[in-house]
Amino acid sequence: MLGLDGQNPGGDAPSIWCFMDLVSNRILATRKFDSLDHVKLRETIEDIEKLYGVKIIGWVSVKQNVIIKCHDEYYSDVSHQYCQFHFLRTMWRHLAALDSKVYLPLKKAINSLYIHTASANSKVNFENVGKASVREAFENTDKDLQTMLKVKNKTLKELRGTWLYETVEKYASDMDVTSITLDSTYRFTKIMRKTIESLQKPLQEVKHIYEDAKLLFERF
């Protein structure tokens, strides 16, 4: 069961091809090609057949033109299946592109928060605390949010925008609950309320995209 694929490193470097048996997962051959067409690919496959003295009963490959042309012209009687992983990865790219429309606006909003952009040297009076910079007073909150931005997509497993939306939404909700217990006249509380609102607004704006991405991921 022949599996074949080529990788072009770019530049003037030759393309590297791998041929393997998908039943035993054994590498049959690796080849370098400065140029490759369907005729030369056929010659390579025939060399592999002669070397091992086996009959090819099926192909699995990506949807690459040179492979398709070689198969259809010389091996049309052999079953050919496109690689499921490559198919899923292509679908995943579309899903990740949609999800980025959730992640990027939230990232921009978090990086634009007053508690993140305020001068670290400018100090103001916080009731019952004394003079401190806004950055210093909200250091833990800012650190939490910045840490959330470091999340990465896990290919075929997790979307960063969806994760960030859900995590920030809960974080803002927890902040909201906490702010109710604080004195609304205090500077800290006012800045906290402003921060919550600055998080809730972009969350609401991307909610419909989040819901679409969430649904597609579940279907995926």
21, 52, 82 - which closes a domain? 82
Give the pLDDT band (50/70/90) at residue 119: very high
Q: Give the count of domains, the chain.
A: 2
Rounded percentage of the chain residues whose pLDDT exceeds 90:
84
Q: Quote the CA–CA distance of 120 and 126 in Å, as a whole number.
A: 15
Dihedral of alpha carbons 88, 153, 99, 176, sign: positive
Looking at the fold, whether 63 and 171 belong to one and the same domain comes out as no
Bridge partner residues of 130 (DSSP) = 126
Report CA-CA distances (Å) from 204 to 29, 74, 174, 190, 201: 54, 56, 17, 21, 5
Q: Is residue 87 part of a domain?
A: no
Q: What secondary structure does DSSP assign to 133-181, as a single string?
A: EHHHHTHHHHHHHHHHTT---BTTTB-HHHHHHHHHHHHHHHHHHHHHT
Looking at the fold, whether 208 and 119 belong to one and the same domain comes out as yes
Looking at the fold, whether 147 and 72 belong to one and the same domain comes out as no
Task: Provide the domain limits for residue 108.
Answer: 92-219
85 vs 177: which has the higher pLDDT: 177
Looking at the fold, whether 100 and 65 belong to one and the same domain comes out as no
Looking at the fold, whether 189 and 102 belong to one and the same domain comes out as yes
Looking at the fold, whether 78 and 102 belong to one and the same domain comes out as no
pTM score of the predicted model: 0.73
* pLDDT of 198 strictly over 90: yes
The predicted-structure confidence for 69-113, as pLDDT tens digits, reads as follows: 999 999 999 999 988 888 888 889 999 999 999 999 999 999 999
Residue 60 sits at φ, ψ, to 5 deg, of -135, 125
Q: Is residue 190 part of a domain?
A: yes
Looking at the fold, whether 130 and 77 belong to one and the same domain comes out as no
Q: Is residue 64 part of a domain?
A: yes
